[in-house]
Structure 1
Amino acid sequence: MNRETANVLLLLIGGALLKIAVDGSYVRYVKPGLFPYLLTSALVIVVLAVAAIAGDVRRGHAADDSHADGHRHNTRSYWMLLVPAAVILFVAPPALGVSSVGSSAAQRTMAAQDMSAFAPLPDGPAPELSILDVVGRAARDSTGSLDGREIVTTGFVVAAADGGTFDLARVLIICCAADARSIRIHLDGTLGDIPEGTWLSVTGVVVPGSADADSNYTPTLTVTDLVPIPAPDNTYAY
């Protein structure tokens, strides 16, 4: 790869990182807590690219990959490396959603941890909990804090493993979208005709003991009410 190609590639990568950091779309790929590191990396890469390009311009040319025998290699294949960076810069991919929801490996990992006493649920007739909190309490809470309590949780609808019922899911990321996995709650009740991917606020009661090995530690929520809602700006769980 000659210097000209390398410099342009570096500038595009830095520009793509800077764009998603500034417009907030970086949360489609990494946790919000990584924003300072992402922004710093983007600025450093852009500065290095600009400095390299400016240095080549001052010298009057960009060093090439010619050899002493005067032959020049075809650099067309190297320019193809610019395509992924340009795509992110101009057409940012969406956040992971329904198509990325797979097995309940994350829930099996959570269930493998020791039982422990969770904090009591907040006061109120139906406190709002994240799906991650519901799954954790259902699988590992030694106090049974969910037993008999109506709760509210939100997520998007996906088809359950049996193909005839539905789950409520979120995409969980530990660090970035590369390690994404799904967490889900099985919905028991009359849901009506709801397309997959629809975001819902669901009220219901978790069936005690439903998060076990037979269910892949997916708790069942007996639905008492549900309301379609817009998708949140940040669709991931952490």
Structure 2
Amino acid sequence: MRRYGSAVLLLLVGGAVLRISLFSELYLRYVQPALRPYLVISGGLLMLLGSVAAVRGMRHGEEDPDEDHGHGHAHGGPRIAWLLTLPALALLLFPPPALGSYSASREEAQRAAQGVGTFSALPAGNPLDISVAQYSSRAIYDTGHSLKGRTLRMTGFVTHGSHGTWYVTRLLVTCCAADATISKVEIRGDEVDGAPQTDSWVTVTGVWIPKGKLGTDGAWPPVLKATVVRQVKEPADPYDKR
């Protein structure tokens, strides 16, 4: 059986990659949508290589039927190599979840890579759907105060701070989950009946509350006075867009 080890590993990894990219949208937990074709191609190639390796193993067994009886033990590699199939099998059966509150808590020192200035006008609409990253950038850096007087709506997962403070949080991915940065908005308001559970997803509607001097740590994190907080399902693409 050891001669099939590489084939099994390739097939498991290829199957896992195809499962999350071709047969579902789970790949969005880890990479940007634009990378989907590359994942599908990679998964297909791994499956092809695994099939070729399996056929070669079968032919080798037919040519050397005494291998398992002591005449070919060196060709199959160490038995411990089979342990490599465990993470591949776990990826196939139990894909890891998207990054959440734990990852956000480790990235709180990060800020948007931009300076203070005037932003473009916001689109019409009331309430206006806006990403957490867009709201955060405008609240902290926009000298034109484009958020003023607008009713805004955003979706994200819940994280908690001290003294009952809670935030709508979103992670922004440039390429893949490894480079994720955080945006979060503190939620206040008399209409908010308690803080939702950590990592639950909510859509919050409210208005901007100015805080601190623009472009300084005093403006972080921005604040939204909420009038409506509604729990929702986690979106297929859990990461934010600028």
Q: Output the TM-score relative to the length of structure 1.
A: 0.84
- The 5-angstrom pairing of residues 116-131 of structure 1 reads 116-131=117-132
Question: Who is 2:56 aligned against?
Answer: 55
Question: Who is 1:141 aligned against?
Answer: 142
- The 5-angstrom pairing of residues 9-28 of structure 1 reads 9-21=9-21, 22-28=23-29
- The 5-angstrom pairing of residues 132-211 of structure 1 reads 132-160=133-161, 162-190=162-190, 191-193=192-194, 194-210=196-212
Pick one of 211, 217, 221 that aligns with 2:220: 217
1:95 aligns with 2:94: no
Quick one: distance in 1 between partners of 2:39 and 2:185?
33
Q: 1:164 offset after TM fit, Å? A: 2.0
Moved more, 45-54 or 32-41: 45-54
- RMSD (Å), alpha carbons: 2.7
- Decide whether aligned partners of structure 1 residues 62 and 94 sit closer, same or farther in structure 2, where only a CA change above 3 A counts: farther
Question: Which string of whole-angstrom CA distances, capped at 9 and with x for unpartnered residues, describes residues 106-139 of structure 1?
Answer: 4x2x1x4223432211213321101011011112
Quick one: distance in 1 between partners of 2:42 and 2:84?
20
Question: Who is 2:39 aligned against?
Answer: 38
- Decide whether aligned partners of structure 1 residues 175 and 62 sit closer, same or farther in structure 2, where only a CA change above 3 A counts: farther
Quick one: distance in 2 between partners of 1:118 and 1:204?
20
Quick one: distance in 1 between partners of 2:43 and 2:229?
42
State, as a whole percentage, how many aligned pairs show the same letter. 36
Q: Is the Cα–Cα contact under 8 Å of residues 7 and 53 in structure 1 kept in the other structure?
A: yes
Per the alignment, in what secondary structure is the counterpart of residue 202 of structure 2?
strand
- AA aligned to 1:147 is K
Question: Who is 1:81 aligned against?
Answer: 84
Quick one: distance in 1 between partners of 2:41 and 2:121?
40
Quick one: distance in 1 between partners of 2:91 and 2:218?
39
Question: Who is 1:66 aligned against?
Answer: none
- AA aligned to 1:11 is L
- Decide whether aligned partners of structure 1 residues 35 and 70 sit closer, same or farther in structure 2, where only a CA change above 3 A counts: closer
Q: Output the TM-score relative to the length of structure 2.
A: 0.83
Unaligned residue ranges in structure 1 (runs of 5+) = 64-68
Per the alignment, in what secondary structure is the counterpart of residue 203 of structure 1?
strand
Q: Is the Cα–Cα contact under 8 Å of residues 127 and 152 in structure 1 kept in the other structure?
A: yes
Per the alignment, in what secondary structure is the counterpart of residue 23 of structure 1?
coil
Unaligned residue ranges in structure 2 (runs of 5+) = 65-70
Q: 1:183 offset after TM fit, Å? A: 1.5
Per the alignment, in what secondary structure is the counterpart of residue 51 of structure 2?
helix
Q: Is the Cα–Cα contact under 8 Å of residues 170 and 184 in structure 1 kept in the other structure?
A: yes
Q: 1:37 offset after TM fit, Å? A: 0.5
Q: 1:231 offset after TM fit, Å? A: 2.3
Quick one: distance in 2 between partners of 1:49 and 1:216?
54
Deviating above 6 A after TM superposition, structure 1's stretches of 4 or more consecutive aligned residues are: none
Quick one: distance in 2 between partners of 1:38 and 1:62?
36
Quick one: distance in 2 between partners of 1:235 and 1:204?
21
Q: Is the Cα–Cα contact under 8 Å of residues 104 and 216 in structure 1 kept in the other structure?
A: no
